[in-house]
Structure 1
Amino acid sequence: MDLQNIGKKIKQIRLRNQKTQQQIADDCGISKSLLSKIENGQTTSAVATLSRISDALGVQLSWILDDKTEQDIVFQKNSNRQTRFGDEGMGYSYELLANRSKYSGIEPTIVHVTPRKLNQRLDQTYTHSQDEFIYILEGSINLLYDGSEQLMEKGDSAYFQGSKPHLFVPVDDDGAQVLTCFIDRI
């Protein structure tokens, strides 16, 4: 068991969850000092304690105990990428471009905006907790964002808070492809 790797993972997800050591320690019934030593790889801990920590952080114990370290680079061949997810009738489908780690804080995708004639959701906006960066790869969209509308064409980009109502509306019957990066807010 790699104590440094376990500690690094615990600290990483604790900070991502915007929790203090004291908050997690209180949730687990351990001292802040013990949690600090675990995070710094200075002490071994009972699996039961690690299980309570994983519960408090909302992650699987197996993720904390996994000896595999994050890779510096992950290649995703087009031929190995899973096909589109989603439902065109809902307005879009998407492809995940990189699956580095579910805790990396960024999720790059290509959003395929359904052509106007097939799109059944031209007015229902979405919200989510992540920030969003978009870059128009093909076609054009109207970006509805928090009550305003902006025409975006190939090569245009935007960065915005996903917590505000937004929607990609196709401009024509050709649809569009939008590189989208969902970025966790820290």
Structure 2
Amino acid sequence: MNSQEIGKKIKELRRKKNMTQQELAEKCGFTNSLLSKIENGQTGSAIATLSKIAAALGVSLAWLLQEDQSEPLVIMKKEERQTVAAGEEKGYLYEPLANHSANSKIEPVIVSVLPENKNLQPYTHSEDEFILVLSGEINLNFDGKDQYLKAGDSAYFKGTTPHVFLPVNSQEAKVLSVFVAHLE
């Protein structure tokens, strides 16, 4: 899904919830100008930014990144999956694995950690996160400390603690990341 489609979904949901741009921007800690650019597809957004918007609107990040389906069984064939760049971060590529309802409490994605991006800054989001390194190696910088992980290693952590996946060498790494929203 491109920036314009994501922006349109955000705008439509914001309006359905009777929120002004200013109210949503304040809830996310953004300027009204940035939110306007996102809604109008004039700028790409980092996954951390979209995660804050999703949380403020009460939906999952995956819901913003994909077409919505509310079916009892959703199958997504590998060739149907789309990779989404991480906006201004450009250090990750995200491949959502399930096209599901906005009400889902989990969202699985494959994160490609690109080797040329060693200077990404830690970020936070409201969901817990489970990761499994599928291939390659990463440093999971969690709360300022690097944790070396290789293929087969996994971790579970609170997304509210600053974290980032950093490349270890010149090889791309693939990480299965499952975001788990808190039950209300």
TM class by smaller structure: 0.5 to 0.7
| Residue 145 (str. 1) matches residue 142 (str. 2) | yes
The answer on whether the counterparts of 1:88 and 1:114 sit within 8 Å (CA) in structure 2 is no
For residue 92 of structure 1, what is the aligned residue in structure 2?
Answer: 92
Counterpart-to-counterpart distance in 2, 1:88 and 1:170:
18
TM-score (norm 1): 0.58
CA positional deviation for 1:105: 0.9
Change (3 A) 1:127 1:72: same
Match of 1:167 in 2: 164
Match of 1:20 in 2: none
Q: Secondary structure at the match of 1:103?
A: coil
Q: Deviations over 1:4-36 (max 9, x none)?
A: xxxxxxxxxxxxxxxxxxxxxxxxxxxxxxxxx
The match for 1:158 among 151, 155, 160 is: 155
Within 1, Cα distance between the matches of 2:156 and 2:179?
A: 10
CA contact (8 A) 2:122 2:162 kept: yes
For the 8 Å contact 2:83–2:93, the answer to whether it is kept is: no
**Counterpart Cα distance in 1 of 2:165 and 2:144:** 13
Deviation string 1:130-182 (CA, Å, 9 cap, x unpaired) is: 00000000100011101222100000000000000001010001020000011
Query: Contact 1:90–1:120 (CA<8 Å) still a contact in 2?
Result: no
Aligned partner letter, 1:86: A
Distance change >3 Å, CA 153–CA 143, structure 1 → 2: same
Q: Is the 8 A contact 1:140 1:153 kept in 2?
A: yes
CA contact (8 A) 1:89 1:114 kept: no
The residue matched to 1:185 in structure 2 has which SS? coil
Which has the higher Rg, Structure 1 or Structure 2? 1
Amino acid at match of 1:114: L
Indicate whether 1:72 and 2:72 are aligned: yes
Unaligned segments of structure 2, at least 5 residues: 1-55, 59-68
**TM score, norm. by length of structure 2:** 0.59
Off by >6 Å, runs of 4+ in structure 1: none
Question: Cα deviations across residues 96-117 of structure 1 (Å, max 9, x unaligned)?
Answer: 10011121111100000011xx
Matched ranges for 1:35-184 at <5 A: 70-87=70-87, 90-115=90-115, 118-119=116-117, 121-122=119-120, 124-184=121-181
Change (3 A) 1:70 1:88: closer
Structure 1 residue ranges without an equivalent (≥5): 1-56, 60-68
Give the counterpart letter for 2:150 in structure 1.
E
Tell me the distance in 1 between the aligned counterparts of 2:57 and 2:96. Answer: 23
